[in-house]
Each structure stands twice: as structure tokens, then as C-alpha cells.
A and B are shown apart, each in its own frame.
Chain A
């Protein structure tokens, strides 16, 4: 069933949608986890990312940043973010994030976002969580999105 959202005048709100991975009885059940692609061909990688409005930017581990070809020594800016109460220093980079749509749920959407990569691997290496957070400023606020908690669907576009 196509569940794309529309405004009341009929214009589309979202271009795609995907279920988020909510696993009862597991740490991930407290998080909204999406499958996304990061980077550009030929180093585009598919991975999981936590939707996390409590931080800015797309925050990713240094390992994942290297894997998608981010030039860690050439950030657009230097900055810091507070992740779960702890300040983390790092660089801010431009990167392409592709929100992946499930089959029959619209289209996938590639977007330019800002990624934050910590200076030190140990500063952001969450155990038992995906290696990437989708923060608000510079990432989630670059597109329209909505959450249906009953069907566990993340709408974007």
C-alpha cells in the first residue's frame, strides 16, 4: 500500500518512506534506526543511522567517514557537538546522504548534508548502536520528515 503523505491541497509532503528498525527487548528499540546510504559513487556505503534530534549534523564515526571517502584532513569547518552530555571536537564536512525508500513506498532521496566527524575515534564510537546519527541542524532539517509510530514508518522528502 502506498502510504505517501500529502498536504490538504493534494501536493505531496513526502517523496518516500521506510520502516524503521524497532526491535522489542533490544537497545535499538529505544531508537529510530533507518537504513541510509552515505557518500557518492564509487564509495557510497549503505549503513544504519539513528534518528537523533538532540544533536546537530550527521555524526559518523571516523571509520565510516574514511570508508565513504571523507577527506578528514580537509574539513569545511572545525566544530564541536555535545553528544549525550559530552563535548566532542571534530571537523564538519559536506557529504551526500541518501534516504532509502522501501519498495512500493515512493522514491529514495539523495540530499547534501553536513557531517561531523570527531577528531578522535574514541570520542564517538557508540557500542551496540549504528555508526551514524542523523542530527537535526544541517541534516534532518534539510528536508521534510514525519514519523508514524503506529506503523513505524519514517516519511521523508
Chain B
């Protein structure tokens, strides 16, 4: 990524780099983009050259093109002054990019490059959120495990405790339901007669049928202890 950006800088002295990095920044709005030192130097050079050219050929400035480049380069694409994220920000930014591109594999690849040492709790939480968003709950579990080991009581991570808590035994119980067997027997005998329909059964007796669940509930009224399913 940095190589491509550097090439673009040299080719057009900032203008193409501006477009490219605008895209990069657009793709990673939450983590931001923190160039490494080499790229920063390239951008500085491009900005200086462009500014110098602008000064020498001032009549050629066009709104929104070359004249804007030095300002964009020096203000937008340098390391963010308020960057509270740690030095591994680019790795986390890649997680965000992978999610934006809906690429589970890119996400997993980027995840393997993240160094979780010295991470803040909210960074763990953000990465968990991204993992869930990309459809990788197992990866989210791994991030959670690391995060909660470091920040066991942090609210940002505790909100995921229900999802990622280890297997446990239930602490509360309710009475068994004596109607299940009768419902099951009715379904075995009659289900095929109502295929595709929503059906309501209470204690082994058909109460209502309908083409939708909403309609079925409206017809049945009190659905306490009523099995609502699709045949």
C-alpha cells in the first residue's frame, strides 16, 4: 500500500497521491490511517515540490485540483495528532478495511498480524465488533479471550460476556411441559396435511392454521402453551 502511494506521489507530485490516500482514508475512517516514516517523508517531499511549483506558476491554480494538494497532504495524511491508538494502528486499520470489503479471509489474515500487547480495552472491543460484523464469531471469541484476560472487568468487554462465556450449567429451572408428547404425536400424524402453513397446536389438538405467523397469532389470541410452527 505504501509503495503504491509512493509511486503515485512521484508520478504526479502529490495529485494522484491525494486521490489514492483519500480512498485509503475513506476506507479506514474509524482507525484512521497512520503512514509510516518512509511514506511521511515521501508526502513531505511531494508537498514541498507541489508548493514550490504553485508558487512559481501561481496563475495555473485551479479550484479543487493542484492548489488543494499541499493543504490536503500536510493536514490530512500525516499521523493524526489525536491518535490515541497504539503503534499497531495500521494492523487494526487493515481489519477495518477487510470488513469494509466484506472479505473474511482478508480479515483473518490481518488479524494474525495484530500484536495485542499494550492494546486498550476499547481496541479489543472494536476488533470483536468487526469480527462479528464480518461473520467470524470464532475469531471474535479469540479476541475476547485475550481482551478479558487483560481487562477482566472492563465494560466494553463485559457486554460480550454472554456470547463468549464458557460452557456452563444452568442455574435456574422451570417445570417440564407435559403437552410436548401430545404435540409431537399430532405432528407425526398430521404434519404433512398442512405443509407450508403455519399451525397452532395445544396439547395435541390443532387450534388454527394460517398463511403467516402474524395471522396465526391474531387468530389464536392467547398463545400460552400453544405450539406455533410451520408444517
Interface pair B176/A16, CB less than 8 Å apart: yes
**Chain B residues, CB < 8 A from A79:** 132-133, 135, 137
Chain B positions 148 through 179: 1 when the CB is less than 8 Å from some CB of chain A, otherwise 0: 00000000000100110101111011111110
B88 on the A face (CB < 8 A): no
Does A131 interact with chain B (Cβ within 8 Å)? yes
Contact indicator A142/B192 (Cβ below 8 Å) = no
Q: How large is the interface on B (under 10, 10 to 19, 20 to 34, 35 or more residues)?
A: 35 or more
| Distance of A26 from chain B, by nearest CB (Å) | 7
Check A46 for interface membership: any CB of B closer than 8 A: yes
Interface contact B167-A16, CB-CB below 8 Å:
no
Query: Does A118 touch B at the CB level, under 8 Å?
Result: no
Q: Are A67 and B133 in contact (CB under 8 A)?
A: no
Q: Which of A23, A26, A103, A111 contacts B176 (CB 8 A)?
A: A103
Residues in B neighbouring A63, C-beta threshold 8 A: 212-214
Residues on B with C-beta less than 8 A from A26 are 191-192
B108 within 8 A of A: no
Prevailing SS type, chain B contact patch: mixed
Chain B, residue nearest A108 (CB): B174
| Interface hit among B66-74, B77-85, B116-124, B219-227 | B219-227
Q: A102-B180, A109-B172, A137-B138 are in contact. Are A129 and B230 (CB under 8 A)?
A: yes
Q: How far is the CA of A66 from the CA of B228 in the complex (A)?
A: 14
Is the CB–CB distance between A130 and B229 below 8 Å?
Answer: yes
CA distance A16 to B174 in the complex (A): 10
In the complex, whether A128 has a CB less than 8 A from a CB of chain B is yes
B134 to chain A, nearest CB (A): 7
* Contact of A48 with B174 at beta-carbon distance under 8 Å, contacts A78-B133, A94-B162, A127-B196 already known: no
- A81 close to B (CB within 8 Å): yes
Residue A144 interfacial (CB < 8 Å): yes
Return the CB mask of A73-110 against B: 1 if under 8 Å, else 0.
00011111110000100001010001011111111111
Interface: B145 (CB within 8 A): no
Q: A134 CA to B145 CA in the complex, in Å?
A: 23
Residues from chain B with a CB closer than 8 A to the CB of A56 are 137
**Chain B interface (Cβ within 8 Å of chain A)?**
129, 132-135, 137-138, 141, 159, 162-163, 165, 167-170, 172-178, 180-181, 183-184, 187-188, 191-192, 195-196, 212-214, 217, 223, 225-231
